[in-house]
Amino acid sequence: MDFTNDFDLFQNSLFDEEKLEGNQLQKTDLKNTSGEEAKKTNSNPNAKLADDEEIEEIDDFGEGGEAVLSEEIAMDEQGSEITQKENVEQLVLTGLPVDVFFKYGQASEKLGKEEIAKTFDEFRKSKISDFPEFEKGDKVVWTVNYLVLREVKDPAKTTIEGIKSEIEASAEYASLLKKNKKPLCMEIKPRVSGQSKGVIS
């Protein structure tokens, strides 16, 4: 019998089995590795969701997204400008520190806070020493010129600053204020019936 050939066949058979087992082990390792990676991906479902949301956010700015964003910014700026303009107009209409002048004949006097807090009748009495014709209150008629001409109907109860606020709240004043190009001021003028005008000392 030829034992040499039998031994060679036996060796080749063992070698083939070892090679087959090695290939199977490699396939098993690859399968296990793929399974672990799949488990890691599945264990974090938010990862895919976050990626999808990021893509959606990017898409929002594409194909017209920039134009929409620019339009929104422009609208916000325009709204801010309108609000600022309204605030300025409201400030003008409700108590800007406008100079108030007393004018009578050739006399002209800028009034302070204490004077404009007085009623017209109180102010009249404070001027009697300069203008004796102011003695009789029923003979003195007060007119206010503050873009709008207004006659004071009740000088005993109406303060100078009160009629100023009253005029500022009127629609006529608001309309004239928008057209006014001159420095804004308020004048109060007394008129005495049957009396000559005095001169302030």
pTM over 0.85: no
Question: Which residues neighbour 132 within 8 Å (Cβ) at sequence distance 6 or greater?
Answer: 198
And the tokens for 82?
């309108």
- Tens place of pLDDT per residue across the chain (201 aa): 444 454 455 445 544 555 545 555 555 554 555 555 544 445 555 545 455 555 455 454 455 556 555 666 666 666 655 554 554 455 455 556 799 999 999 999 999 999 999 999 999 999 999 999 999 999 999 999 999 999 999 999 999 999 999 999 999 999 999 999 988 999 999 999 876 555 554
pLDDT at 169: 94
pLDDT at 61: 47
Structural domain boundaries of the chain? 99-192
- Asked if residue 188 lies in contact with residue 101, where contact means CB atoms within 8 angstroms, the answer is yes
Q: Where does 44-64 have alpha helices with state H?
A: 45-60
Residue 154 CB neighbours (<10 A): 9
And the tokens for 156?
């005993």
Q: What is the largest CA-CA distance in the chain?
A: 165
Range 99-192: architecture per CATH: Roll (3.10)
Closest CA to 93 of 150, 165, 146: 165
pLDDT at 63: 52
Residues in the chain: 201
